[in-house]
Amino acid sequence: MLKKAIGSVIRELRTEKSLSQESLAEKSELDRVFISYLENGHRQPTISTIFKLSSGLGVKPEEIVKKIRKLHETQD
């Protein structure tokens, strides 16, 4: 399931950077509850949200997408 893959990747990148949901939300200019919804597979990000998350995580947007695609392909 795509939403689950997205959530797993966002959580993985966030924890690798030792960021709380609150600090990622602040760095990304997003709401902490939205970060939680993403990580738990309840929401899907838009492309602009992926760019905001990438900025907050200090990674390129394509790195996020590549990780999501790879995980999603293994879940199918």
Could you report the average pLDDT of every consecutive run of 10 residues in the chain (76 residues)?
Answer: 95 98 98 98 96 98 97 86
Q: Which residue has the tokens 């939205």?
A: 34
pLDDT of residue 27: 98
Residue 4's identity, in one-letter code, is: K
pLDDT of residue 76: 66
